[in-house]
Each structure stands twice: as C-alpha cells, then as structure tokens.
Amino acid sequence: MKEEFLTISEFAKRAGVSRPTIYSKLDNELSSYCKVVKGKKVINSKALAFFGVKESVKNFTDNESLLQMVSVLQSQTEMLKGQLEVKDRQIESLNERLAETSQSLRAITHKELAEKIEMKQEEASAEPVIIEPASDDELSDQEIYKRALAKLPPMPGLWDRLFEKKVDAWREAQNIAISKMTDKEREVLYKIGFVGDEH
C-alpha cells in the first residue's frame, strides 16, 4: 500500500486543528513527514498520530489488495448463502413436523369426540331403571297431593292469562291430566284445596 500525502488544508482538517497550528509545527515535529510535490508542501498521513488521530486506511490503489478484499467478500457471501440454505431446510422440516403434529392432534380430538358420542348414545339407549311408585295406601294425603300436582301442566304466564292466550289449551291439558290420575289422587287433590280451572 502506498503512503498517503495530504495538503496542509487536508491535514489540518483530518487532525482537527487550524492551518496556522500545522504551519507552526512544519519545521519541528512534522519536518520529517513533510515534502514538496509540484511546488506544494504535503504531509505524510502517518504524522496524524501526533494529534491523536489514527491513520485511516483509505484508498486501495494496489490491485492485489482490492482483489484480495473481493475474494474475502465473495467467500463470506458464499458461506452466508450456505447457512441460509441450511436454515431454510430446517424451517421446512419444522413446518412439516408441525403439520404432522397438528394432523395427529386433530385425529385424536375427532376420535375422542366420536368415543364420547358413542358412550352418550349407549347410555341413552340403555334401558331406564323403573322405580315402582308406592301405592296410594302407603302414602299420606300430602304426598299424594304433591304427586298429583306434579302431573298437572304448568300454568300459562301472566301475560297469556290476561289476554286469554293459551288458556284454553292449558285447561284442556289440565282436564286430560286429571282424567289420567288415580281416584285417590283426584280425591286428595280436591280435598286439600285444588280449585281447578277458573272461569
């Protein structure tokens, strides 16, 4: 690499001092770094060290250095390309594994859901346990009354009753329910205070 020589102005600028300061040192500290080129004084850039400035590597005029730098950059680029290809393959592999895992989880979920539905269907199709109700003779009037009331259809809401909506259908359903009760249930129902459908 060739030595770099700077004009007084360039040197002062790079050193961060004024031109008169440089002129004052030309005959002393800078004398060995100074020479005349084409009638002008120039200073070797190595003298910047006197001002605490590190000499910067600037112009590569040497073709060999330039070729060496290009070669280094090319090899680094190739290395980075190789690393990127490896990373791309790793990402592709991870995506495939993620898709397989997701598919497996979906299959497990569907299988569990199907099993649960099948269990529910089996439970629903199982024969219900029928508990024989106690006979009217074994129950008190109060218990028979409660049983009879449970067989009656629910009364329509206030709004429906105020405007006679659904009332007729309810009365008919009530009469049917009473007709299906046992004699004892009907007897206790009216005995304890059931009023029936009011007109």
Tens digit of pLDDT for each residue in 34-47? Answer: 999 899 999 999 99
Whether 68 and 119 map to the same domain: the answer is yes
pLDDT cut 90: percent of the chain above it: 19
Structural domain includes residue 198:
no
Whether 64 and 120 map to the same domain: the answer is yes
Q: Can you give the pTM of this predicted structure?
A: 0.29
The average confidence (pLDDT) of the chain is: 81
Whether 64 and 36 map to the same domain: the answer is no
The answer on pLDDT for 14 being more than 80 is yes
Whether 82 and 103 map to the same domain: the answer is yes
DSSP-derived 3-state class of residue 123: helix
Whether 67 and 41 map to the same domain: the answer is no
Structural domain includes residue 185:
yes
User: What confidence score (pLDDT) does residue 29 get?
Assistant: 87
User: What confidence score (pLDDT) does residue 199 get?
Assistant: 39
Q: End of a domain among 84, 103, 125?
A: 125
The answer on pLDDT for 2 being more than 90 is no
Give the span between the Cα atoms of 173 and 111, in whole angstroms. Answer: 45
Q: How many domains does the chain have?
A: 3
Domain containing 153: what range?
136-192
Give the span between the Cα atoms of 118 and 126, in whole angstroms. Answer: 12
Whether 77 and 117 map to the same domain: the answer is yes
Largest separation between any pair of C-alpha atoms in the chain:
140
Q: 60: pLDDT confidence band, cut at 50, 70 and 90?
A: very low
The answer on pLDDT for 104 being more than 60 is yes
The answer on pLDDT for 63 being more than 80 is no
pLDDT cut 70: percent of the chain above it: 84
Structural domain includes residue 197:
no
The answer on pLDDT for 127 being more than 70 is no
List, in sequence order, the alpha helices (H) in 126-165.
141-151, 158-162
Any idea what the Cα angle at residue 153 is, between residues 148 and 156, rounded to 5°? 135
Q: End of a domain among 101, 125, 149?
A: 125
Q: Which contiguous run of DSSP H or E holds residue 95?
A: helix 63-125
